Structure 1
């Protein structure tokens, strides 16, 4: 009798317990998908979309569920934006989930990337609220690991821009003087041969002949006649003016024992000179004269038409035509600068004796960055108002990885020359290194024409996650960064050719070749290139050990 009463009582108590327990049950990972999976770094972020399904007759009508994504890694975790869902009988503005039908939810997640996330789990945490009661469901792991290949983009492999010297070994100089003639005459007048300009020309010629660092390369004589006489008369005049001037210069050179090549030519009717002088003059009817010149190509007809304008011709005869009766003597001189050996020696022993351009040039003659930095430091000391010294010193410091010192010198250069493209380019590199993409973009916008800009823009676009723009910016550049952009857009054949063309392969070059091997399922390519990469940089072993690119391959012997 007692047993008959006990058994139904136990059943009722059990049913009552179950009926009162309104807690929602844990969900399995089968109810969730993640795109992409595994996760990938894009523009320094880890974005993904989690699609979840609440099954039929699961979601309690009076409950609110907060789902928080977490990226969990070895020494911590990062929480993402929570998503809130509610049952049918809850008043609120969150997405409602039907108890009977269930529902599908989409949760876009995003985490700022840190290297520890390479080996991580994407977990979903569930907090349930029903009235005054709050409880948590077990977390669900929906994805594992983060592909961080995009982070191989290396700002430090970019070349900063040098502000070049203007040093020229040979500087070409010219000196000239005119001998003026009277109308229809070709004789050289004494006052013309003793003019101030003619004396100055002779002095320059003599100095060039005597100076050890100068070379008199040529003396040219161009003789002219004004276009107000007939062609035959003017030809004779111009030819005689040339002959007399040449004879004069030959005697002068012989007297001073100077040897020089001499060339000569004459222009019988200097219509080009005439047109130039008229266009620059204040003659009232100059437009009329210029129209005549454009209407008639025959020299004699031009002359007749202009002479027919008697009032105009009188002005021309007084103001313009006398200026076209001359011989111009032009001396060409090469000024030969210091040799490389002289400049290098003076840069070490007596830098103050060098011009700023010679000292900047000296830095291009040495091999090591330390030697370059020493010379640029002297430029800054001796020529503190020349921005190029600061920029180029910063350039060397950037290449050596001292970004703080490089930034200080780039900023000094910018204060002296604020609109210099090379300096702006280098400031952009510093901003890019510090992930200050807004400042980098602004600086690169001021760097048009700088040779190094396209590569910098390529890395900038990769850091922003725009891989197609990066590929376009790199063009045909053969660099690790350019190959990485091609890998990220899955152009593996071009990436392989780019890496093969890298002039000085380093650990990153071979690491990217290993990534290419992994993506094309070539195990031998993975192993051989990882081995080379690790031999050049032991830190690559740890990087490879947690790199999901190599998850399908046995690289344990390389990374232990």
Structure 2
């Protein structure tokens, strides 16, 4: 009798357990979708959005399931953020999944990119319990990864252009020498006392004329009358002062056989000069006088209104107006510097004969990096308190691929002056080290550096901000600019950029191959990749695992290139 009752009871219990989904077995990959379908590195991260589903009559009412994305590669793995789900009879705060209806969910995860991820697979791992019992749910592969094209910025950064500490050399410098001949009130004759001034002025003209490195442009004579008195009277005075001054100057030039153009002009009533002198004075009621000048434009009304200020008019007549009765003499001339040939020779033979600007300029006259380095080194020795030579030595080291040496020079330059170009270059160093926060900080202090936009473009690539990178690069033709355009899917612009790179290297060709793969141009893929591998054989190994070329892994021409 007992045996007869036991068998039906066991069958009923199995049925109950089965109906509750106690087995919770393997899940098909069909229940999961991943965006993007092939994972891709963006700004040093590998992001993924996973949409999953537990099917109907699967999720046990008493089960708790922890789901963890895991990116696996040969020799390693990285775990993403887990999510926990619970059955209908579990008391808790996790998302509840219906046994009868099943349930959908979305998980966002991100992994820190490492190069080994280029050949990897994304799995979901499950940790399930029903009460105190552990239930095994096999891991499910849901995606391949990782496209790492954005990480090529680490290589293209080497061809970025560091900022130069530019020289301020000017071969022709414009100079001038001024003097004034003063006149008495209502007189235009050049007094004997003022002839001395004219003679001293002429001596300066003579010195400039005889100097080997100077050239006279012209002599200007500007004659004035003070604004007191009628306009006609002042006009005649100013004109006569102009003519009389010109006679003296021309006489002296002729005596010393100096050829120079003499240009003359006169101002009948020198209100501008009057206003300037008043504004610089400590005269009582100065502000009232200046207000009169701004209120009235008619010369006669101005004069009358100022005379009405009786308390100060005598002071104006004694201290200001006499200074306006004059002829201003201006010698304009050019100082002509050393020729390029002279500067280059002295930079090598006797650099101490060059000033700082000439020495820095000398380095721009050669394309030989060793000669540039020697010149900048001399500049640091002769002018140790200027940052530019240290900065430019850092630029040379950077372009030679010696980043530690470059950083030392840039830091030395920064210790002398916190200059925009030095900050920009330290930003490039930080980017090469993968320190994006430091790079952003340095570049934020680099406003005014000529090459800043290119540096910012590289930063934006590293941050995964591809549209901003494209805008920053503008029409710059570099590998980094083309990389930004590829990542932003502006393929036509990227092709034009790569074609315009001044000194194409292996990565120029590699990016062209990537562009060919993205635009389904097989011949571009194979021809460009062949050129890239010829220049840098290590790129064959990279291409062999680069998912940009996944659909070419069975192409005979492609395989022959990377073997």
Structure 1-normalised TM-score?
A: 0.90
Matching residue of 1:59: 59
Q: Contact 2:377 / 2:393 at 8 angstroms: preserved in 1?
A: yes
Aligned counterparts of 2:86 and 2:292: Cα–Cα separation in 1:
92
Q: Which residue of 2 aligns with 1:557?
A: 560
Question: Which of 183, 190, 198 is the matching residue for 2:185?
Answer: 183
Match of 2:451 in 1: 452
User: In the superposition, relative to structure 1, how do residues 63 and 298 fare at CA in structure 2: closer, same or farther (>3 Å)?
Assistant: closer
Number of the residue aligned with 1:158: 160
1:402-438 deviation per Cα after TM superposition (whole angstroms, max 9, x unaligned): 22222222222222112x2111111211222222222
Residue 179 (structure 1) shift: 1.0
Question: Larger deviation: 116-125 or 41-50?
Answer: 116-125
Shift of the alpha carbon at 1:136?
4.7
What residue number does 2:263 align with? 263
Matched, 1:412 2:412: yes
Q: What is the CA distance between 1:275 and its match in structure 2?
A: 2.2
The one-character-per-residue Cα deviations of 1:41-89 (angstroms, maximum 9, x if unpaired) are 1111111022222223333344433333221223322222333333344
Provide the residue aligned with 1:326 in structure 2: 326
- Partner of 1:379 in structure 2? 379
What is the 5 A alignment of 1:144-543? 144-153=144-153, 154-194=156-196, 201-418=201-418, 420-543=419-542
Partners in 2 of 1:16 and 1:87 — Cα distance?
Answer: 19
Q: Which segment drifts farther, 104-113 or 132-141?
A: 132-141
- CA 1:148/1:378 → structure 2, altered by over 3 Å: closer, same or farther? same
Distance 2:149 2:200 in 1: 70
- Between the aligned partners of 1:232 and 1:540, the Cα distance in structure 2 is 88
Secondary structure at 1:357's aligned position in 2? helix
Distance in 2 between residues matched to 1:122 and 1:451, nearest whole Å: 44
For residue 535 of structure 1, report the CA deviation from its aligned partner. 2.9
Q: Secondary structure at the match of 2:551?
A: coil
Greater CA drift, 550-559 or 478-487? 478-487
- Return the TM-score normalized by structure 2: 0.89
Q: Deviations over 1:295-333 (max 9, x none)?
A: 444434443444455444322211211011111111122
> Residue deviations 1:222-245, cap 9 Å, x none?
111112233332233222222222
Alpha-carbon distance between aligned partners in 2 of 1:53 and 1:306, rounded to the nearest angstrom:
93
Distance 1:125 1:302 in 2: 93
Q: What CA distance in whole angstroms lies between the structure 1 residues aligned with 2:102 and 2:73?
A: 32
Equivalents in 1 of 2:92, 2:371: separation in Å?
A: 71
Quote the Cα distance in structure 2 between the aligned partners of 1:27 and 1:242: 104
1:14-48 residue CA offsets vs partner (Å, 9 max, x unmatched): x9899799554222322222111111111111110
Residues in 1 aligned to 2:390 and 2:410: alpha-carbon distance in whole angstroms: 6
SS of equivalent to 1:551 = helix
- Alpha carbons of structure 1 residues 109 and 296: separation in structure 2 relative to 1, 3 Å: closer
Name the CA distance, whole Å, in 2 between partners of 1:142 and 1:214. Answer: 80
Q: Answer whether contact 2:543 2:549 (CA < 8 A) is retained.
A: yes
Q: Deviations over 1:349-406 (max 9, x none)?
A: 2222221111111111110333222222222222111111111111121222222222
Cα distance in 2 for partners of 1:506, 1:352 equals 40
Distance 1:252 1:539 in 2: 79
CA distance in 1, matches of 2:510, 2:104: 41
Distance 1:353 1:329 in 2: 34
**Correspondence 1:120 to 2:123:** no
Number of aligned residues: 548
SS of alignment partner, residue 284 of structure 2: coil
Output the CA distance in 2 between the equivalents of 1:298 and 1:61.
Answer: 100
Of residues 537-546 and 263-272 in structure 1, the stretch that sits farther from structure 2 once superposed is 537-546
Task: Note the alpha carbon deviations across 1:478-513, whole angstroms, 9 max, x for none.
Answer: 333223222222222233333333333333333222
The superposition leaves residues 113-135 of structure 1 with CA deviations (integer Å, 9 ceiling, x where unpaired) of 12221111112223334455546
How far the C-alpha of 1:178 sits from its partner, in A, is 0.7
Q: Using the alignment, how far apart are the partners of 2:313 and 2:103 within structure 1?
A: 99
Moved more, 512-521 or 357-366: 512-521
Q: Displacement of 1:185 after TM fit? A: 1.5
1:441 Cα deviation (Å)? 1.6
1:40 equivalent in structure 2: 40
SS in 1 for 2:446: coil
CA distance in 2, matches of 1:344, 1:160: 24
Residues 32, 264 of structure 1: alpha-carbon distance in 2 compared, 3 angstrom cutoff: same
Residues 1:226 and 1:79: Cα distance change in structure 2 (over 3 Å): same
CA RMSD, Structure 1 to Structure 2 (Å): 2.8
CA–CA distance in 1 between the matches of 2:394 and 2:16?
A: 74
Q: Secondary structure at the match of 1:68?
A: strand
Determine the C-alpha separation between the residues in 1 that align with 2:295 and 2:149: 71
Structure 2 counterpart SS, 1:173: strand
Q: Distance in 2 between matches of 1:247 and 1:428?
A: 64
Q: Is the 2:24–2:135 contact (alpha carbons within 8 Å) kept by the matching residues of 1?
A: no
- Which segments of 5 or more consecutive residues in structure 1 lack a partner in the other structure? none
Counterpart of 1:145 in 2: which secondary structure? strand
Q: Describe the SS at the equivalent of 1:342.
A: helix
